[in-house]
Structure 1
């Protein structure tokens, strides 16, 4: 019963803070807390009232190693697909590296403990704690990214900014086309018609600015020229949002700004919009399935890097625990 009460408390916090601002990662903490405690509470009740249910719970626990093996296989296979289709860049290798790291890390930890060296044993403990912390952080990020991506925008947008991505041969590739098509859907369903702001500068390997190519695509789809203003200087998501807001203000289009990107990118874009103090929500377009695992891992790493100090502070208790383990090991030695 205690776990269900705790789940209700987390659920209330989730609803309160989501209503206050949907673009906060702490909402994901409360969401995962509510779901996790709720599940444990339900399992506890079933184990008490359903004869033999404890054996079912035990069987589920015993299946965890098998599920980890399946996860590793999936990540490795996906990583190979990414390398074959998208090229050999570090960002395309993330799912492959994750799939290899998951089985290797426990082996490394066991070997370190087997040395009986207090410093190496402490390193194994620290490695275990760090892996657990990062895993929980990823579950929180992924859960809320999926939840936020399913939310509908609350206001009719006065402007739509389509976040840019790399051109191929100076043309709009499928990944970017999905964003533009999603923006066209919103544009066609909105009255009065919002301003469309395709945003993206020219990269070193691109023959023209992303914003210019995107604007050309939108006009080819029948959008009137007066409803499209290209932004061609931004080199990051934060600049996409900030420069688009300036264009919207200069055009006299007062009201909400809606950013359009791929589904894996919606949460980080929303976090950046909130950080910049913009009145902007984010909606996502579909992405090729093979691309999603590496893309979510890349987004997670970017969010972690953006909050390094916070995560360092949150990890201090675990670091202190590892220090106590080292002191105890040295005392016994």
Structure 2
């Protein structure tokens, strides 16, 4: 049960990091690492106990591989659905590409290993090169799987974190208009903000509502104006609605909305409203701009969630490109050193 020691370490790191700030992606890494160590420890001990438990562990591994294959097929099907319902775009292709990658990349990574025990006409250096490339691809697959698991798990954990129900300001992030009107995706955010707004007792100070979004190149008006119109039409008091109409992305949404909140003289906690798939990334961005805002999510159509989660994951990986590149380059350097060592005459 030696693996329970690193599990305890990762669990302690998770608790400590979460207490410092719940809006940290590393919290998800620590949580998933702790859970993985516990599962591995249980599997190792079970495999040593009796043949029956060993068979159960083997059955669990086979079932896990089967679930991965089912996930790949599901993502491919979801990708087809996204293309049919949402149109042909790179973002809508993500779930389809991910499903194909899950099926293809591990096979490509394992091909060199299967050829080790068979005669080959390739020169020794070419064989080593193929094995090295296979190891790099295998690590890349494992790295992507581990980081996505940490992101997905902690997205669910953070979305269930209880935030204040009496904020000083409610910021609603924009997400694009359709022919100048609020579409269902954005409407769910506004309805969530209105639900929090209405839940404040009559004898308490109501939060101000800050619908945030500028005018895109394909939009006839600013998102903030259309969102403010929706809020007013659904019962929000005009003195409580302060639209922000200059932002172009989530980071600017947060920064410019903070300026609007300050201009309105509303100091205090800020609650940001977005869709559930976007909650964690919005929270990470809030932390990066030194805002103390917490984030809550509104419902999203089920078919849209897998592709949306993949987009959010991709965006986070790009935002942390230096860290990810360092990890991949470190492994590449180690594999290169091992390959050079293997060809040095001894």
TM-score, normalised to structure 2, is 0.90
Any conservation in 2 of the 1:138–1:300 contact (CA below 8 Å)? yes
CA RMSD in angstroms comes to: 1.9
Distance 2:133 2:85 in 1: 38
Corresponding residue number in structure 2 for 1:98:
98
Alignment pair present for 1:153 and 2:163? yes
Corresponding residue number in structure 2 for 1:320:
333
Of 248-257 and 110-119, more deviation after overlay is shown by 110-119
Corresponding residue number in structure 1 for 2:261:
248
Deviation at 1:128, TM superposition (A): 1.3
Question: Which of 223, 227, 231 is residue 236 of structure 2 equivalent to?
Answer: 223
Any conservation in 2 of the 1:266–1:284 contact (CA below 8 Å)? yes
Question: Which of 119, 131, 144 is residue 134 of structure 1 equivalent to?
Answer: 144
Question: Which of 286, 292, 297 is residue 299 of structure 2 equivalent to?
Answer: 286
Corresponding residue number in structure 2 for 1:295:
308
Any conservation in 2 of the 1:211–1:231 contact (CA below 8 Å)? yes
Alignment pair present for 1:266 and 2:276? no
Cα 1:168–1:139 change in 2 (3 A) is: same
Any conservation in 2 of the 1:152–1:283 contact (CA below 8 Å)? no
Distance 2:66 2:141 in 1: 19
Any conservation in 2 of the 1:155–1:256 contact (CA below 8 Å)? no
Question: Within 5 Å, which residues of 2 pair with 1:104-119?
Answer: 104-110=104-110, 116=122, 117=126, 118-119=128-129
Of 191-200 and 152-161, more deviation after overlay is shown by 152-161
Deviation at 1:300, TM superposition (A): 0.6
Corresponding residue number in structure 2 for 1:9:
9
Deviation at 1:5, TM superposition (A): 3.2
TM-score, normalised to structure 1, is 0.94
Matched residue SS, 1:74: helix
C-alpha deviations, 1:73-102, integer Å up to 9, x for none?
A: 100000000011111010011000111112
Alignment pair present for 1:76 and 2:57? no
Corresponding residue number in structure 2 for 1:203:
216
Any conservation in 1 of the 2:46–2:57 contact (CA below 8 Å)? no
Distance 1:108 1:317 in 2: 21
Unaligned runs of 5+ in 2: none
C-alpha deviations, 1:123-164, integer Å up to 9, x for none?
A: 222111112111111111111111111111147310011000
Distance 2:43 2:338 in 1: 33
Distance 1:200 1:140 in 2: 30
Deviation at 1:109, TM superposition (A): 3.2
Cα 1:46–1:166 change in 2 (3 A) is: same
Matched residue SS, 1:157: coil
Unaligned runs of 5+ in 1: none
Of 319-328 and 288-297, more deviation after overlay is shown by 319-328
Any conservation in 1 of the 2:275–2:299 contact (CA below 8 Å)? yes
Of 19-28 and 44-53, more deviation after overlay is shown by 44-53
C-alpha deviations, 1:278-310, integer Å up to 9, x for none?
A: 111111111111101111110011101111111
Aligned length: 332
Question: Within 5 Å, which residues of 2 pair with 1:16-27?
Answer: 16-27=16-27
Question: Which of 139, 147, 153 is residue 143 of structure 1 equivalent to?
Answer: 153
